[in-house]
């Protein structure tokens, strides 16, 4: 989460939920003023059961991974 705050410039983190497979946190982007919810899972959880979601999940509210712009 610290990397998101530093590299993407997001702020106002708010935990939306926590379950057995990870934590969902909402962030606000300061320039665009939009909100993004990010699910953070451990690599072990990803290997054990969520890889199929990463590969095949398609939804209008799910955006592809966005990398920070380094200057």
Residue 31 lies in a domain: yes
Terminal C-alpha separation, the chain: 21
* Per-residue pLDDT tens over the stretch 14-37: 888 887 777 888 887 777 777 877
Question: Helices marked H in the chain — which ranges?
Answer: 2-7, 43-45, 51-56
pLDDT at 35: 81
Q: Is the pLDDT of residue 52 over 60?
A: no
**Assessment of whether the complete model's pTM goes beyond 0.75:** no
Q: What is the mean pLDDT of residues 40-45?
A: 68
* Residue with more model confidence, 36 or 51: 36
Q: How far is CA 1 from CA 11, 16, 37, in A?
A: 10, 14, 12
**Number of separate domains in the chain:** 1
Strands 35-40 and 22-28: antiparallel
- Please list the residues that pair with 28 across neighbouring strands: 11, 35
| 6 marked as binding residue | no
Residue 24 lies in a domain: yes
Domain limits for position 26: 1-53
* Residue with more model confidence, 45 or 13: 13
């Amino acid at each position: 989460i610290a990397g998101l705050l530093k590299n993407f410039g997001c702020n106002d983190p708010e935990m939306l939920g926590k379950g057995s497979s990870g934590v969902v946190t909402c962030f606000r982007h300061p320039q665009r003023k939009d909100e993004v919810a990010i699910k953070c899972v451990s690599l072990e959880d990803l290997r054990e059961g969520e890889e199929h979601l990463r590969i095949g999940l398609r939804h209008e509210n799910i955006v592809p991974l966005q990398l920070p712009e380094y200057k």
